[in-house]
């Protein structure tokens, strides 16, 4: 079970009033939310529709998630899981392991779900904040961990913007989705890690800007 699953279950074991909740149906609610997200997009998804799809009362959903942003991001975390932050002793192999871990959870549903989120993230401030805090931040931390270990081993020069490097693969994956309608498969993800991310990470960092 992924950390996202455990976290979701831990949050759902008690209601906002403090009463214990039965978490056994939480996967059903998450699956319903993902199916609707893929079918109608985030804007048209409602908590009422999730309740109907799951065969539950709307109040049952609200006792677990305060709004659809929290429900959708929790469901997305459960779908994709936590990337495996391998420590192979090599930056190139660590990046390839990350690529394999990320793409192993993808597929047609993953692409349709991501497409369902993209437009909403641009317009919906609440969704953007929840998505950044609970989905993007943990994955950025994983990439940073890989780069920090590479710097400590001497594989990467000091001076790179690690946050910029950490956001590179997700940006490339989104570009592939926009261009083709599909997320990168494992083969393409490994190529992106090898030919783009690894090359930039191991190149000399730019000289400081002294023009100001």
- Residues 3-26 have pLDDT tens digits of 334 344 434 445 455 555 667 889
- In this structure, is residue 210 part of a structural domain? no
- In this structure, is residue 175 part of a structural domain? yes
> Residue 119: which domain range?
83-202
Q: Which pLDDT value is given to residue 20? A: 58
Q: Are residues 20 and 118 in the same domain?
A: no
Count Cβ atoms within 10 A of the Cβ of residue 105 and give its class: 0-12 exposed, 13-18 middle, 19 or more buried: middle
Angle at 129 between CA 186 and CA 173, to 5 degrees: 20
Count Cβ atoms within 10 A of the Cβ of residue 104 and give its class: 0-12 exposed, 13-18 middle, 19 or more buried: middle
- In this structure, is residue 212 part of a structural domain? no
Q: Which pLDDT value is given to residue 148? A: 97
Whether the pLDDT of residue 183 is over 80: the answer is yes
pTM recorded for the entire structure: 0.77
The enclosing domain of 30 has a CATH number of 1.10.357.10
Domain C-terminal end among 76, 104, 139: 76
Q: Are residues 130 and 51 in the same domain?
A: no
Q: Are residues 88 and 72 in the same domain?
A: no
Q: Are residues 94 and 165 in the same domain?
A: yes
Query: Span 82-88, mean pLDDT?
Result: 83
- Residues 50-60 have pLDDT tens digits of 999 999 999 99
- In this structure, is residue 211 part of a structural domain? no
Domain C-terminal end among 46, 76, 106: 76
How far is the C-alpha of 168 from the C-alpha of 191, rounded, in Å?
Answer: 13
- In this structure, is residue 155 part of a structural domain? yes
- Residues 29-39 have pLDDT tens digits of 999 999 999 89
Nearest-10 crossing angle of helices 3-11, 68-80: 150
Q: Are residues 59 and 149 in the same domain?
A: no
Q: Are residues 31 and 116 in the same domain?
A: no
How far is the C-alpha of 64 from the C-alpha of 9, rounded, in Å?
Answer: 9
Domain C-terminal end among 61, 76, 91: 76
- In this structure, is residue 113 part of a structural domain? yes
Q: Are residues 89 and 128 in the same domain?
A: yes
- Residues 94-116 have pLDDT tens digits of 999 999 888 876 556 677 888 88
From its phi and psi, is residue 154 left (phi > 0), alpha (psi between -120 and 50) or beta?
A: left
Q: Are residues 90 and 67 in the same domain?
A: no
Q: Are residues 99 and 166 in the same domain?
A: yes
**Alpha-carbon distances, residue 68 vs 46, 123, 137, 210 (angstroms):** 7, 15, 19, 47
Q: Are residues 139 and 164 in the same domain?
A: yes
pLDDT grade, residue 86 (50/70/90)? confident
Tally of structural domains, the chain = 2
Q: Are residues 118 and 188 in the same domain?
A: yes
Closest CA to 86 of 65, 108, 101: 101
């Amino acid at each position: 079970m992924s950390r996202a699953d455990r976290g979701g279950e831990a949050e759902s074991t008690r209601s906002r009033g403090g009463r214990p909740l039965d978490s056994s149906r939480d996967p059903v609610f998450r699956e319903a939310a993902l199916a609707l997200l893929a079918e109608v997009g985030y804007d048209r998804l409602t908590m009422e529709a999730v309740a109907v799809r799951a065969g539950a009362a709307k109040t049952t959903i609200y006792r677990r998630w305060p709004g659809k942003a929290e429900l959708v991001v929790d469901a997305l975390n459960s779908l994709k899981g936590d990337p495996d932050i391998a420590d192979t002793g090599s930056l190139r192999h660590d990046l390839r392991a990350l690529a394999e871990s990320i793409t192993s959870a993808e597929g047609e549903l993953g692409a349709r779900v991501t497409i369902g989120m993209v437009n909403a993230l641009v317009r919906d401030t609440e969704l953007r904040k929840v998505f950044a805090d609970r989905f993007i931040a943990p994955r950025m931390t994983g990439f940073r961990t890989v780069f920090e270990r590479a710097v400590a081993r001497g594989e990467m020069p000091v001076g790179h913007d690690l946050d910029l490097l950490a956001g590179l693969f997700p940006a490339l994956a989104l570009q592939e989705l926009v261009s083709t309608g599909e997320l990168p498969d494992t083969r393409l993800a490994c190529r992106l890690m090898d030919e783009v991310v690894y090359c930039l990470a191991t190149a000399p960092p730019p000289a400081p800007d002294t023009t100001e």
